[in-house]
């Protein structure tokens, strides 16, 4: 996988032990890493953006700050509370397509499956991600996003391939790929969206073959040394 760089971004709001365990997990893949953080970090090639407030809009600014330095053909977006697999990082979309895998969320006592794409599970051609985000920020710059609106009030400022029509931006392709062993994100308060409430329609499991019991995994990352 010498054509892929991991682009890690964080607002540095998570607990230090938990964050260290997530970063150890990413280092285990032995891939180049660029990190974009609100505080200085010793993790890959680090870019500090301490002038930003945590927000959805600024997450995409962080991604753009990092991806312009990526030298590989593809880039994988990695968030500070997500766990990945070799299978996930092995996927390669077409040069004009953003790829996403669905992930399970981790609660203290269970996993639950949410059928929704998320930027933390995006793998994309580097050039395409740069061009797509540049087009967004040229039209909706940080200083004056839109008359009478703050950046995070922009309806649809989300994952590339989903909402370009809402922002009156050029269409980009997206695909969803299935995995035998799922990727995960922890369902906890420090995340940008806060704690997600599980609906009765969502699939729930206490244990997943690749990861073991949810309760054990939670303890390993919050109280122990990770995987």
Q: What is the mean pLDDT of residues 22-32?
A: 96
State pTM to two decimals: 0.90
Q: What is the mean pLDDT of residues 65-86?
A: 96
Q: What is the mean pLDDT of residues 80-97?
A: 96
**What percentage of the chain reaches a pLDDT higher than 70?**
88
pLDDT band at 157; cut points 50, 70, 90: confident
Least confident of 89-93, 173-177, 204-208: 204-208
pLDDT at 129: 97
The 3-state secondary structure of the chain reads CCCEEEEEEECCCCCHHHHHHHHHHHHCCCCCEEEEECCCCCCCEEEECCCCCCCHHHHHHHHHHHHCCCCCCEEEEEECCEECCHHHHCCCCCCCEEEEECEEEECCCCEEECCCCCHHHEEEEHHHHHHHHHHHHHHCCCCCCECCECHHHCCCCCCCCCCHHHHCCCCCEEEEECCCCCEEEECCCCCCCCCCCCCCCCEEECEECCCEEHHHHHHHHHCCCCC
The CATH number of the domain covering residues in 4-222: 3.90.550
pLDDT band at 198; cut points 50, 70, 90: low
pLDDT band at 13; cut points 50, 70, 90: confident
pLDDT at 192: 57
Contacts of 20 (CB under 8 A, 6+ apart): 226
Between residues 90 and 189, which one has the greater pLDDT? 90
The mean pLDDT of the chain is 88
pLDDT at 195: 54
**What percentage of the chain reaches a pLDDT higher than 90?**
60
Q: Where are the domains of the chain?
A: 4-222
In Å, how far are 114, 116, 194 from 200, measured between CA atoms? 11, 16, 19
pLDDT at 126: 98
């Amino acid at each position: 996988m010498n054509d892929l760089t991991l682009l890690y971004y964080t607002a540095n709001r998570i607990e230090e032990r938990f964050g260290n365990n997530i970063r150890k997990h990413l280092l285990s893949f032995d891939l180049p890493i660029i990190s974009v953080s609100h505080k200085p970090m010793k993790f890959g090639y680090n870019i500090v953006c301490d002038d930003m407030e945590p927000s959805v809009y600024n997450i995409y600014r962080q991604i753009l700050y990092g991806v312009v330095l990526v030298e590989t053909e593809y880039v994988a977006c990695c968030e500070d509370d997500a766990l990945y697999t070799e299978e996930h990082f092995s996927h390669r979309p077409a040069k004009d397509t953003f790829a996403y895998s669905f992930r399970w969320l981790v609660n203290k006592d269970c996993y639950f499956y949410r059928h929704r794409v998320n930027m933390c599970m995006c793998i994309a051609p580097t050039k395409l991600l740069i061009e797509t985000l540049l087009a967004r920020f040229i039209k909706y710059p940080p200083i004056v996003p839109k008359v009478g609106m703050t950046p995070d009030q922009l309806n649809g400022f989300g994952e590339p391939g989903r909402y370009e029509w809402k922002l009156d931006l050029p269409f980009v392709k997206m695909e969803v790929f299935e995995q035998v062993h799922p990727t995960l994100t922890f369902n906890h308060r420090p995340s940008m969206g806060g704690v997600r409430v599980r609906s009765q329609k969502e699939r729930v499991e206490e244990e997943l073959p690749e990861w073991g019991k949810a309760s054990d995994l939670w303890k390993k990352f919050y109280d122990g040394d990770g995987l």
